[in-house]
Amino acid sequence: MRKISLEKCQENMKLAKTIFTDDGRILLSAGIALKRSFIERLKLCNLSEVYIDDEFSTDIEINDVVDERTRNEAKLLVKSVMEEYKVTQRFDADRVKSVVNRIIDELLYTRDIMVNLTDIKSSDDYTFSHSVNVCILSLITGIKLGLNQLRLKDLGIGALMHDIGKTLIPKEILNKASKLTNEEFEQIKKHTILGHEILKTNRDISITSAHVAIAHHERYDGSGYPLGTKGDNIHQFARIVAIADVYDALSSDRVYRKKMKPHEVLEYMLTAGEVLFDRNILEHFVRSIAIYSIGTSVVLNTGERGIVVDVNRTFPTRPIVRVVIDAGGKRLASFNEIDLTKRLNVFIEDTCDI
């Protein structure tokens, strides 16, 4: 399978990954041949990309770090908790703990974790998908840092619920497509304090988990909010979630901007990491992220185009690429796979659509 933009989708292309609605129902099942009406419906759902199987990629496997059912259940849980809190001012922490424990178990079972983010996100359900991705990315980082299971559980709960304060922020501000006014941005910033209040009043949520909500926008140089806390005075869990939060936010389409490419996000974070993030945590985080994930189409400096079929953990910028289009733009009759660690004169210039 490989990922392509919805704009490049054509009729009769075979869908490789099931697409769910924001309430957990199957919208389109894997294996279906895409009709024009299906493609238009996906656009109406504000999706920008899908996974397909074709002659280029039918044998390429892309494995998520957690089971698709677990990810979907976690997304539905976040939505349910936020909606429940709006109405009742309470939520069931046991359900949160159960999902977090399952994610931890699945991550610990996967010995060699390398993240290929496979979640197809709609800008309509951004908050829910984002919360789950931040939880997964934070837990992977926590595992790399050697946290024990009790601490991983508190980290995971805090990460999954880090944006719960947004339930009390007006939707018209959260979903505003144009630039926020100063007053609106001040309201957005309050989600950290509000989230902390929500979590700390639930006696089944630990203080450390609750602290993630108030501190995940703090920055290592003290430039963050709401308290302007600096350096190691920021709790370790909040320093971890801050990195996962920024990575997933920049990797996602929003109502007010298009997402950045994964390698651009990592380049930005490594540069910004000198001042904004805990450098040690950032290095552990980056080592678990595939810069060019499997199924990504890339342009080589030779002018050829191909699909990433495997990653090289030691040299993440030099994956194995299946060349399918020559420098003249002609589709090749037979594919040629290049291990970029063995062809040092060949390198990736950019990602693309094929």
Neighbours of 257 (CB within 10 A): 10
Catalytically annotated residue among 17, 75, 121, 166: 166
Longest alpha-carbon distance in the chain? 64
Judge if the upstream peptide bond of residue 262 is cis by omega within 30 degrees of 0: no
Annotated catalytic residue 3 = no
Q: Between vectors from CA 138 to CA 28 and to CA 91, what angle results, nearest 5°? A: 70
**Burial of 239: CB neighbours in 10 Å, binned 0-12, 13-18, 19+:** buried
Calpha distance 264→272 (Å, rounded) = 12
Strands 2-5 and 26-28 turn out to be unpaired
Calpha distance 202→213 (Å, rounded) = 13
Give the residue numbers annotated as catalytic, written as ranges.
166
